[in-house]
Structure 1
Amino acid sequence: MGTGSVLESKPSVENREAVDDASSNHNIERQQVLSVGLNDALIKERMSPWSWAMVRLYGLVALTTLNCCMNGFDGTLMSSINAMPTFHEHFGTRMQGSGTGILFSIYAIGNLAGAVVAAPAADTFGRRFGMFTGSLIIIVGTILEASAPKVAQFIGGRFLIGMGISISNTSAPIYLVEIALPQWRGIFGGLYNVVGYYIGALSCTWIAYGTGFMNTNWSWRLPVVIQAAPSVIVLAVAFFMPESPRWLFANNRPEEARQMLIKYHGNGNPESALVAHECREIEEGIRFEIETGGRRWCDYKILFSSRDMLYRLWLLFLVCVFSQFIGGSVITYFMPVMLENAGITGSSQQLLLNALNTVFSFIGGLCGSCFVDRWGRRTLFLYGTFITGLIYIPINVLSSYESDRLTTSMGYGFIACIFLYGIVFSFSWTPLQSLYPAEILPSRVRAKGMAFQNVVYGGSNFINMYATPTGMDNIGWRMYIIFLVLHFLEYIFMFFTLPETKGRTIEELEELFLERNPVKASLKKKEVVVREGMGVKEVEE
């Protein structure tokens, strides 16, 4: 499924030829690859996706993904309970307006607060500690939310949940990227965000759909209580998981790191060519880290200290900010309002459509994850942004009609556009939102960079979630025009500045960003001679 990321799955006649070497009985091919060293290691030792080492690694990936379940559950929780009359009756709020905006946006303020401590926790005490601490804070916030008699306590609980998710979702994607095999890093990272987010979202939407028929406060309290389930599991198992090998190398524990890589990447073989390649590259990266002074956990100036770091921060900005401002969050968080504008006013109908939209988006995200390594990150970003922009055009047109002017067929067309938007966005963007930022950051500042990402994400999310309901109150459907324009601005920025990261180890990406034109360098391939089972050799130009 992911092996096409490293060796071209269907090379053309011009860049691939094979001959039979009778003396050695090995097939010799000429191919174009992105990384000579990585391909050499992978040709010498092919890892079966069903080996015992991989099965154990899948278990670690699944447990890590629970951190993203918390995020998915919470993101869908608010849109679901926002459609419940019992919730608004209990707290005296409305479906739209500034009061509702505060309920949504305080989560983003919690994200910002969590980002302050997320990097020191992950760098000083390890990636597992960050996941553990974030889960503990989420559990406390859930208790406050579920038991809230007044809106002030509910807001406090949402603040803590936002803070805890920020901490756990700084450490978790770093941990996953650092333990994943390089040839399957794309699909692992993609499934982290897709499976994690949508399992949480699906669980929430269907639970909320069921409890929405209750006429008591348990209709919204029960989904809030269940929100803590993934955090409880992570809290229980975090310190039974192996620590990230890159963190172990960085903290003078190289033998533990090697043993971890041998167990999970080398299938127990201490002579593994892939393990040797990874250890060599990580050690070289650590030496560079020491020379640049990047391990001072409290020093965030390094994020702004060089041209290549500023370039990476620009890419973080692109992915974080525009993921909020190209309109997807409006559909996710305020779908009940949009459905009312389309003439669908029943609470149970809105909850059912919200749940079905999540199911279709999940399917789209699963399919997209399978193509992250094959098509590449850049291709998915560009096509996804352009196509969602096209879909947003009829959304703009249909949302301009008052509900009493909408025909039945127009209402169904509006719903179809919402569903299609969710599928395309999930196919292209959702697998990459955690993966791409973690990939492009060098090891010495990965935790700091991911914390900075959470600050940018939290700030843009706060602006979006607070401004959108107010804007919808004041200018209505015209808010969607802003998101439509931003779609195509994003496409232009990404086309000229977003490099491809597939087919390389995360250490090799360090060299990529030192190039004068990282986009051009990321698309350049090297011609090699491949001898099956024996390795590769670069062809001199």
Structure 2
Amino acid sequence: MVTSKFSWANIAIVLSLCLGSISYGYNFSIISTTVGQPTWYASMGLTADATNASLYAYSNQMIGTIFGLFSAGAIFGALFVGWVCDAYGRKKSLLIAAFINIIGGALQAGSVHVAMFIVARFVTGFSGAMFVTLVPIYIAEVAPPATRGLLVGQHGAFFLIGYVLAAWVGVGSYYSTNAQFNWRFPVSLQILWPLLMCCFIKWLPESPRWLVSKGQNDEAWQILEKLHSSTEDSTHTFAREEFYQITSQYAVDEAAYGVVSFLDLFRKPPFRKRMLIGTLVMWASQANGAIVIYSNIVGLVTGLGFSNSNSLLLSAGWITWACIGNFTNALFLDRLGRIRSLCKPIPYFLVDFRHIRHVLTSKGLTVIGITGCVVFVIIEAAIVKNYGSSTNKAALAAGVAMLFGFITFYGGFVDTTIYVYCSEIFPTHIRAKGMGWSLAVFFLSTLPFLESSTTGFATIGWKYYLLFIILPSINVFLLALFCPETKGLSLEEINGVFNDKVAVQLTHLDTEEKSALGACILQGTPVGSQK
């Protein structure tokens, strides 16, 4: 198979789609700075003052609900988009997501009481999940195998840009003398990114794999020819090979499985394995406390003795560092691999049970990113326990440093990888449903943590961190045992990892085999002839 890197067409598509990634990141993250604005509490009839015990308890409950309802909306949005983007295509689904996002952002900015704000968060959660599901699917379906990790990884990197924008907009707005502007302006910007996306959607091509699934092979070929056009490949060999592989694989999958219902995803063993792996990866990514720290970063820093203004500045710096980590994660994914970016070899002497030792060391896996997160959570919990209510500036500064250490491992090894991996493991005819399910699990996993985090930190303090020490320690071994590598394979060839038939093997053919197959493909026009 001719090696194809990315073209300017790939880059333009990725950057346009990543406006959806920014939308999700901004939607989710803006609440972190909003709940750090005293004027928001006043507008919503809430308080951050613990001396007013009854109102303070009620306020914590409402904030937990606000966090939780975003995730609840996201669960429904992820499942909905799994159906709608198969039925109507990737482009139309992006338009629907943008429209819903604009409505949710406008309602949130115009909220006059906390109930209206909660409903608006549910709506923006619904649309945010549509974006966070659609964007990696779309990019994966137009990216060459050799650079798919880098290109799909931009989704994770760009929604961190949404986090960064939300953080610094929140910091800037904090200093405004206009009490309503303090919090209404930042949340109103939620409508900007989907509006910008609407301007670019017209120029985006539809996914060629979706077009093949609808029998529109001629249009799929034209798109692939443009996507992989280069001076080094004047005969469009790479595009021809990929088109041949896509159409052949879809014909095989259609003959083997026909129409696949949602229940079939759990009934048929090859699909069930993928669904369970997607569930495990997304659950593990959230059960290490990342979502709680993301959402409560301002409050956590304030709890370490810093002022509101300094807490906002430190949280903005923390999220900026996370963004850098996500871009770094995307850069090495195609070299290091999906699982190895989560994992590294286990020392032989650390494993006591022979069977487990054999499996783990033969795969060479243990989760490095999540393990690193656990280490920093342990230290953070110890600092909060011993110095949380003290005036020991060195210890409190160390507490903030541990939060930065945590995000170094999470952003640098985990946050981008999970979206790339889950967008790859499902074949074309179930990719949208499988990715929708995985993201629904992602948001369902966040729900108990977000609902309980504010009250948990307020009532049991440092002990709440124990959740994020015990759970990821278990997940480390599950990920190492069950997750196969997908690096370097085309989307169609990943079928073989799950014991499904691969119609055409291109990536690992030798030179003679490539020449023979290339000659076969070039004998006739590829447009619509290999259905």
| Bucket of the pairwise TM-score, normalised by the shorter protein | 0.7 to 0.9
Q: Is the 8 A contact 1:86 1:219 kept in 2?
A: yes
The answer to whether the 8 A contact 2:102-2:194 is kept is: yes
Deviation of 1:530 (Å): 6.0
Deviation at 1:293, TM superposition (A): 4.2
Identify the match of residue 302 of structure 2 among 340, 362, 371: 340
1:464 paired with 2:426, answer no
CA RMSD of aligned residues (A): 2.3
1:250 maps to 213
Letter in 2 for 1:372: L
1:170 to 133, 137, 143: 133
The correspondence for 1:391, drawn from 355, 364, 376, is 376
Deviations 1:24-76 (A, max 9, x none): xxxxxxxxxxxxxxxx332xxx55x5xxxx11220110011111101111222
Alignment of 1:275-354 (within 5 A): 275-295=239-259, 299-344=261-306, 346-354=307-315
- Look up the SS of the partner of 1:149 in the other structure: coil
Q: Give the alignment of 1:518-533 within 5 angstroms.
A: none
Of 124, 129, 140, 1:161 maps to: 124
Which AA in structure 2 matches 1:351?
Answer: L
Q: Select between 261-270 and 380-389 the one with higher mean Cα deviation.
A: 261-270
Q: Does structure 1 residue 182 correspond to structure 2 residue 126? A: no
What is the percent sequence identity of the aligned residues? Answer: 24
Alignment partner of 2:326 out of 365, 371, 375: 365
Alignment check: 8 A CA contact 1:131 1:169 kept: no
Structure 1 letter corresponding to 2:464: M
2:31 aligned with 1:78, yes or no? Answer: yes
Which letter maps to 2:332? Answer: F
Deviations 1:252-292 (A, max 9, x none): 11011111111111338673222122112211221133224
Q: Which residue of 1 aligns with 2:483?
A: 498
Aligned match of 1:146: 109
Unpaired stretches in structure 2, ≥5 consecutive residues: 49-58, 343-366, 502-506, 519-531
Corresponding residue number in structure 1 for 2:495: 510
User: Residue 401 of structure 1 corresponds to which residue in structure 2?
Assistant: 386
Residues 378 and 228 (structure 1 numbering): CA distance in 2 closer, same or farther, change over 3 Å? same
Q: Distance in 2 between matches of 1:329 and 1:384?
A: 15
- Residue pairs, 1:379-458, within 5 angstroms: 379-381=340-342, 382-458=367-443
Secondary structure at 1:434 match in 2:
helix
Q: 1:187 to 1:310 in 2, by over 3 A?
A: same
Is 1:106 the equivalent of 2:69?
yes
Equivalent-residue separation in structure 2 for 1:364 and 1:307 (angstroms)? 36
Asked if 1:65 corresponds to 2:18, the answer is yes
In structure 1, runs of 5+ residues without a counterpart are 1-39, 517-525
Amino acid of the structure 1 residue aligned with 2:317: L
Once residues 169 and 149 of structure 1 are traced to their aligned partners in structure 2, the CA distance between those partners, rounded to angstroms, is 29
The alignment status of 1:473 with 2:473, answered yes or no, reads: no
Deviation per residue, 1:313-351 (Å, 9 max, x gap): 12111221122210111211111222133111x111111
Cα displacement string for residues 151-204 of structure 1 (whole angstroms, at most 9, x for unaligned residues): 11111111111111122322221111001111100000112211x212211111
* SS of equivalent to 2:150: helix
Paired residue for 1:12?
Answer: none
- The one-character-per-residue Cα deviations of 1:116-167 (angstroms, maximum 9, x if unpaired) are 4212210111001111100100000111000111111111111111111122
Structure 2 counterpart of 1:222: 185
- Superposition pairs for residues 187-198 of structure 1, below 5 Å? 187-194=150-157, 196-198=158-160
Alignment check: 8 A CA contact 1:108 1:461 kept: yes
Alpha-carbon distance between aligned partners in 1 of 2:118 and 2:450, rounded to the nearest angstrom: 14
Q: State whether residues 189 and 432 of structure 1, in contact with CA within 8 Å, keep that contact through their aligned partners in structure 2.
A: no
Q: Distance in 2 between matches of 1:512 and 1:144?
A: 46
Distance 1:308 1:152, change over 3 A: same
1:29 is matched with: none
Q: 2:175 aligns with which of 213, 223, 236?
A: 213
Partner letter of residue 336 of structure 2? W
Counterparts of 2:230 and 2:86, CA distance in 1: 28
- Mapped contact 2:28–2:125 kept (Cα < 8 A): no
TM-score normalised by L of structure 2:
0.85
Relative to structure 1, is the Cα distance of residues 437 and 527 closer, same or farther in structure 2, using a 3 angstrom cutoff? closer
- AA matched with 2:488: G
Please tell me the residue identity of whatever aligns with 1:144. L
User: 1:239 and 1:295, CA in 2 relative to 1: closer, same or farther beyond 3 A?
Assistant: farther
1:508 is displaced (CA, Å) by 0.3
Q: Which residue of 2 aligns with 1:235?
A: 198
Distance in 1 (alpha carbons) for counterparts of 2:97 and 2:24:
12
SS at match of 1:227: helix
What residue is the counterpart of 1:7 in the other structure?
none
- Pairwise CA distance, 1:85: 0.6
Q: Distance in 2 between matches of 1:495 and 1:330?
A: 24
Which aligned runs of 4 or more in structure 1 are off by greater than 6 angstroms?
533-537
Answer whether contact 1:365 1:423 (CA < 8 A) is retained. Answer: no
Q: What do residues 458-493 of structure 1 show as CA deviations (whole Å, max 9, x unaligned)?
A: 211221110222222332110101101122111111
Q: Which has the higher strand share?
A: 1
Q: Larger % of helix: which?
A: 2
- Cα separation, 1, equivalents of 2:277 and 2:488: 19
Decide which moves more: 73-82 or 261-270: 261-270
Report the Cα distance in structure 1 between the residues aligned to 2:491 and 2:248, rounded to whole angstroms.
12
Q: Partner of 2:100 in structure 1? A: 137
Alignment partners' CA distance in 1, 2:130 and 2:73:
10
- Give the Cα–Cα distance (whole angstroms) in 1 for the partners of residues 164 and 132 of structure 2: 19
- Flag the 1:371–1:536 CA change in 2: closer, same or farther, 3 A: farther
